[in-house]
Amino acid sequence: MQANSQQDESRSPRYYRIYQALLTDIQHGSLKPGDVLPSEMNIAQSHGVAPGTARKAVDMLVDRGWVERQHGKGTFVRRADFSHSLARFFRLTDREGVQLHPKSELLGVREVPGSAKICRHLEVAENSELIEIERVRRVDEMPLLHEVIYLSRARFHPLLDLPPEEWGDLLYPLYEQVCGEVVFRATDTLSAGPAPEGPARHLGLGAGELVIEITRLARGYDERPLEWRLSRGRLDWFHYSFDIR
């Protein structure tokens, strides 16, 4: 089987093999978010190919969202921007159109055994030790979202020693700074359902009132799941915005 795999790889176009080599460097952390790629001329020289072949490999990385070209500067490993992800689902401007920025209230950080469902999403063994983060997102003191977030304890255990005042409003920069884990992409799924008593209380609602539910599965550059979260939001803040071109 290994011989067949090597034969198949040797038959692949040279640009594709270079693409795979660069992608491996990104996924294994040799090239980190924000790092500049070698120039296409250097890539061509190191792989013994024509510059056009190297450019085709880099084009594949650009087309698939791994890197981005910055005119006059070079080609950089792309860092995903999640800073405005809530704006797709919730009205985050005041009556004058000024952008509002949600603040986070950390309710708790706990070690828990993972349920079958959550462990399946995180691709870890059932009953694996997980970290559960509970928080409320507020806008002008009004509760907007209640969130429960699950992480593998094996990968994120340094968070357990982090004082509450050091958490801040955004989690993904914290994951990178404290645990060395970088979120590359996330899939959000939207639905509606009745709010359980606990989340309802934090949102200023009655148990069973209808809320928007957003589940998110976030992955790293190596495509392994990093985070699963369930966010419940107030309907009176909800709107959906999507730009179609």
**What CATH number did the domain enclosing 36 receive?**
1.10.10.10
User: Is residue 97 one of the residues assigned to a domain?
Assistant: no
Three-state DSSP class for residue 78? coil
Q: What is the mean pLDDT of the chain?
A: 88
User: Is residue 245 one of the residues assigned to a domain?
Assistant: no
Return the higher-pLDDT residue of 8 and 32: 32
User: Is residue 89 one of the residues assigned to a domain?
Assistant: no
Confidence of residue 141 (pLDDT cuts 50, 70, 90): confident
Q: 53 with 145, same domain?
A: no
- Final residue before a domain boundary, out of 59, 77, 95: 77
Residue type, 28: H
Q: pLDDT tens digit string along 150-197? A: 999 999 999 999 999 999 988 999 999 999 999 998 999 999 999 999
User: Is residue 2 one of the residues assigned to a domain?
Assistant: no
Helix (H) or strand (E) holding 190: strand 183-194
Q: 28 with 62, same domain?
A: yes
What's the mean pLDDT in 27-40?
A: 89
Confidence of residue 1 (pLDDT cuts 50, 70, 90): very low
Q: 60 with 150, same domain?
A: no
Q: Is 50 exceeded by the pLDDT of residue 3?
A: no
Q: 113 with 25, same domain?
A: no
User: Is residue 23 one of the residues assigned to a domain?
Assistant: yes
Q: 228 with 151, same domain?
A: yes
Residues in CB range of 122: below 8 A, 6 or more apart: 114, 128, 130, 150, 151, 152, 225, 228
Q: 31 with 121, same domain?
A: no
Q: What is the pLDDT of residue 2?
A: 45
User: Is residue 95 one of the residues assigned to a domain?
Assistant: no
Q: 53 with 121, same domain?
A: no
Q: For the chain, how many structural domains are there in total?
A: 2
Tokens of 21: 């080599």
Q: Which residues of 200-231 are buried (b: 16+ CB within 10 A; e: fewer)?
A: bebbebeeeeebbbbebbbbbbeeebbbbbeb
What's the mean pLDDT in 107-124?
A: 97
Q: 123 with 214, same domain?
A: yes
Q: 145 with 222, same domain?
A: yes
Confidence of residue 201 (pLDDT cuts 50, 70, 90): very high
User: Is residue 84 one of the residues assigned to a domain?
Assistant: no
- Final residue before a domain boundary, out of 77, 92, 120: 77
Q: Is 50 exceeded by the pLDDT of residue 5?
A: no
User: Is residue 19 one of the residues assigned to a domain?
Assistant: yes
* Domain CATH code at residue 226: 3.40.1410.10
Q: 31 with 152, same domain?
A: no
Q: 196 with 122, same domain?
A: yes
* DSSP letter (8 states) at residue 162: S
- Final residue before a domain boundary, out of 38, 61, 77: 77
What's the mean pLDDT in 228-243?
A: 83
- What Rg do the C-alpha atoms of the chain give, in angstroms? 22
Domain around 127: 103-237
Nearest-angstrom CA–CA distance, 82 and 78:
13
